Structure 1
Amino acid sequence: MSSAIGAGLLVAGLLAGCAPSSPVDSQTSGSQTASTTAAASPDSPAPTQVTPSSVSPVPTSSVALPPKLSPEAQMETDRLLILAAKANDPVRVRELIAAGGNVNAKDDIQDSAFLYAGAEGFNEVLQLTLAAGADVRSINRYGGTALIPASEHGHTETVRILIAAGVPVNHVNNLGWTAMQEAILLNNGGPNQQDVVRQLLAAGADPDIRDPQGRTALQNAERLGFTEIAALIRNR
């Protein structure tokens, strides 16, 4: 219990450390101005001109990097990051990524911030996880990529983002379904599902991959009466 509290305090300290520093002391600024005025008097020698080449470059080590966390603090930060993703809270997600959160870390049901955002169509959170190095080939507890549930739910913009990010379009999950098969079998064949199938076909998805019953995507679309999707597949 005390270890979890300590990890939480450490994470809170890391986030507090991201706050901007206070302004330069006005008295110091005033004394520098006074010194410059004195140096400009007629009896003083001309000041040395500062050229760009005489200015020391900013060391690369000053660039902010995610902090190195202890194992306990890393686990707590990752846990909070997944919770923030599930709450569709992009502000908090951004803070926790900056504090060292791992967008590929998974909880006890194999959800990561990336996988959950993709499945649920939380596009702003999804973009943050992709920018932070999300593994586009990672899989959920059903053995599926983020693209498969996104296609099932008809999240058309999410599907567009995931395809552009390089998520495999022909991956088969543990149920024996591809993104296209799941888009057909687990929804209503409406405009969003038609758009998803259109996008998948344009990205090279193979409609001839059969489900565990031996049916192709076209056969399933025809069997369920989804005539528009069936036409898209025939005319690909």
Structure 2
Amino acid sequence: MAAAFAAGACAQAQVGPSTAEAARYQGLHAAAHAGDAARVASLAAARGELNARDGHGRTPLHVATFAKQRGAIQALAKAGADLDLLEHDRYDAVTIASVANDEETLRLLLSLGASAKQVTSRYDGTALIAAAHLGHAGVVRQLIAAGAPLDHVNNLHWTAAIESVVLGDGGPRHQDTLRALIAAGANLQLADREGRTPLQLAKARGYAEMVKMLEAAGAR
């Protein structure tokens, strides 16, 4: 039940601008949503507020990330926008791109200096935990390369390795995610609140391939 609750809540927590919200945007928010990099640069030069917030706490960078407007992201970064701010649900641009499985936007954000190390979301998690939960293995590898904390424990007492098991389906995507975490040296002995390790959780769910990987890595 805890896993189902967390999965559903996480899916609902990250909220991009609705069509109605986007239609009301003005200034940098409107330019960011439309991907108008020239307008972003012009407004920034005219001292537009680069880190202004909409009603949900989203900055123009958050809006551009939700809309996958990479030209606007580059223009905002060049103008000096803060790349690591959290919106009201405590998501940053890196986590937004990670949850969306938007590897290209994530790659851009990380290259511009956005952090993969922040504590985000109402679960006190990280972008890595969110990506592991969803089985976004390519994103997981990018975040690991960017120095994301492998063994962060969120307020559900789950790590990225645990989430790849308990919130996955044991299939190829989550297997690949767990494989990446193992290769990076994630601590496989960290347990959930009931004292269950990733190996024990995989065995309980009948995830044979995950069990093989974990046992080969020396997990207990």
Q: Please give the range of the TM-score, normalised by the shorter of the 2 chains.
A: 0.7 to 0.9
State whether residues 133 and 168 of structure 2, in contact with CA within 8 Å, keep that contact through their aligned partners in structure 1.
Answer: yes
- SS state of the match for residue 142, structure 2? helix
Q: CA deviation at 1:102?
A: 1.8
Q: CA deviation at 1:74?
A: 3.0
State whether residues 106 and 112 of structure 1, in contact with CA within 8 Å, keep that contact through their aligned partners in structure 2.
Answer: yes
Matches within 5 A, 1:181-200: 181-200=162-181
TM-score normalised to structure 2 length: 0.74
Matches within 5 A, 1:26-65: none
Distance 1:15 1:235, change over 3 A: same
State whether residues 8 and 73 of structure 1, in contact with CA within 8 Å, keep that contact through their aligned partners in structure 2.
Answer: no
State whether residues 159 and 196 of structure 1, in contact with CA within 8 Å, keep that contact through their aligned partners in structure 2.
Answer: yes
User: Which consecutive residues of structure 2, in runs of 5 or more, have no partner in the other structure?
Assistant: 1-23
Matches within 5 A, 1:1-236: 8=27, 15-16=38-39, 18=41, 69=47, 72-75=49-52, 79-141=59-121, 142-236=123-217
User: Which consecutive residues of structure 1, in runs of 5 or more, have no partner in the other structure?
Assistant: 20-65
Distance 1:10 1:173, change over 3 A: closer
Mapped to 1, the partners of 2:120 and 2:128 lie a distance apart of 11
Code of the residue aligned with 1:129 in structure 2: it is L
State whether residues 157 and 193 of structure 2, in contact with CA within 8 Å, keep that contact through their aligned partners in structure 1.
Answer: yes
Mapped to 1, the partners of 2:66 and 2:40 lie a distance apart of 25
Q: Percent identity?
A: 35
State whether residues 152 and 183 of structure 1, in contact with CA within 8 Å, keep that contact through their aligned partners in structure 2.
Answer: yes
Bigger Rg, structure 1 or 2: 1
The number of residue pairs the alignment matches comes to 184
Q: Which runs of 4+ in 1 moved over 6 A?
A: 9-14
Q: CA deviation at 1:189?
A: 0.4
Q: CA deviation at 1:18?
A: 4.4
Distance 1:99 1:175, change over 3 A: same
Q: CA deviation at 1:223?
A: 0.1
